[in-house]
């Protein structure tokens, strides 16, 4: 097992982007970018592109064309949506840069996904990226220091996210990795299971309506393996609002546990997602419209990839029913995610 690196390209502002490869040619191979500390690919056999399970791009130019979809990136300082791009903390209202109408999505216009992270540590089977977000970055208070450590494990890979701050702030980081276990074509024939009895209904701006709802008797009932195509075509207001599924689910239990299972019947491949987070955002690739061409060479159409994002519920800083997203000096925020393949 080795860690290799190669120059991936240069951004318009002159920043260099590097691709890192963990693994071997005859075994699993994880490819990462320091741009966004992003997962850029994961092959079950390193020399075989037909075993690719993560959607990535062959050039930096194509990666940048798809920036708005956050392919593979660590997103933050606050993953998901903040309504009206503002929140109140300790009696002070903070305004974040809006990048989805009046909403702040995944950290605002220049969130963590657009930053080139530094390499803080590395070994044969792991690499740690580091990012310092200064006080006032995108409107967030406090200097936040974030770490993202990727490590190969026996049946997949793990991401350990952590953050500390020098002043009260809000924090929620996650991975926006897109999966297609068939390597190309549609992912709507995949079977998806989510370990959740409740989900978060949304309004027309994808902001929570204000409480959890039972998944029973709704298209969000994914408690047993369910063909994605069946759910995203149901006549349902929530499906219509999101053009598919783009909802947060309340995961049963606490601690490190299974959040979801994704299976591709055509290839026999399956992936189990484990995390210690309270919720999982499920996004069924609703706005993939053929504009982008990934490394597979086939244009990405609606439903060609699925993103499963362990995190807090959206807009938690403004929702009195949600868990606190506040991080204070002396505390360390954590999110551990494992992708386990079979």
Q: Which of 94, 176, 190, 259 is catalytic?
A: 176
Q: What does each C-alpha distance from 233 to 192, 229, 265, 306 come to in angstroms?
A: 15, 6, 20, 16
| Residue 36, C-beta contacts closer than 8 angstroms, at least 6 positions apart | 70, 72, 73, 74, 75, 112, 113, 114, 115, 117
Interstrand relation of 144-153 and 126-133 (parallel, antiparallel or unpaired): antiparallel
Q: By C-alpha distance, which of 33, 22, 50 is closest to 266?
A: 50
187 touches 178 (CB < 8 A): no
Is residue 68 classed as helix, strand or coil in its secondary structure?
helix
Separation between Cα atoms, residue 44 and residue 26, nearest integer Å:
9
Q: Which of 19, 309, 313, 338 is catalytic?
A: 309
> In the chain, which residue ranges form alpha helices assigned H by DSSP?
60-65, 228-232, 237-242
Separation between Cα atoms, residue 287 and residue 273, nearest integer Å:
23
The reply to whether 176 belongs to the active site is: yes
How many angstroms from the chain centroid is the CA of residue 127? 18
320 touches 136 (CB < 8 A): no
Cis preceding-peptide flag for 77 (omega within 30 of 0)? yes
Look up residue 286 and give its DSSP letter. T
User: Annotated catalytic sites, by residue?
Assistant: 176, 309
């Amino acid at each position: 097992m080795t860690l290799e690196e190669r120059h991936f390209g240069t951004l318009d502002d002159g920043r260099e982007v590097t691709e890192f490869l963990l693994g071997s040619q005859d075994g699993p191979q994880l490819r990462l970018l320091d741009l966004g500390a992003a997962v850029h690919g994961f092959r079950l056999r390193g020399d075989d592109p037909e075993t690719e399970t993560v959607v990535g791009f062959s050039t930096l130019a194509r990666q940048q064309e798809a920036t708005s979809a956050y392919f593979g990136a660590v997103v933050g300082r606050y993953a998901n949506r903040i309504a009206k791009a503002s929140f109140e903390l300790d009696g002070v209202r903070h305004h974040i840069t809006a990048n989805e109408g009046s909403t702040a999505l995944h950290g605002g216009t220049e969130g963590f996904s657009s930053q080139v992270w530094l390499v803080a540590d590395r070994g044969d089977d792991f690499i740690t990226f580091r990012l310092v977000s200064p006080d006032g970055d995108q409107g967030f208070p406090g200097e936040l220091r974030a770490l993202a450590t990727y490590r190969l494990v026996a049946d997949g890979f793990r991401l350990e996210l952590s953050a500390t701050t020098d002043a009260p702030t809000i924090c929620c980081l996650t991975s926006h990795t897109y999966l297609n276990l068939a390597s190309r074509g549609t992912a709507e024939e995949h079977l998806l299971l989510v370990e959740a009895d409740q989900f978060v209904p949304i309004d027309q701006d994808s902001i929570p309506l204000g409480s959890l709802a039972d998944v029973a008797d709704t298209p969000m009932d994914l408690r047993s393996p369910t063909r994605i195509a069946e759910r995203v075509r149901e006549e349902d207001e929530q499906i219509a609002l999101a053009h598919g599924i783009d909802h947060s689910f309340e995961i049963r239990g606490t601690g490190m546990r299974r959040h979801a299972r994704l299976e591709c019947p055509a290839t026999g491949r399956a992936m189990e997602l484990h995390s210690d987070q309270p919720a999982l955002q499920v996004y069924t690739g609703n706005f993939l419209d053929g504009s982008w061409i990934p490394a597979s060479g086939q244009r990405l159409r609606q439903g060609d990839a699925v993103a499963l994002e362990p995190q807090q519920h959206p807009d938690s800083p403004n929702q009195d029913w949600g868990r606190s997203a506040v991080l204070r000096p002396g505390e360390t925020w954590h999110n551990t995610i494992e992708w386990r393949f079979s």
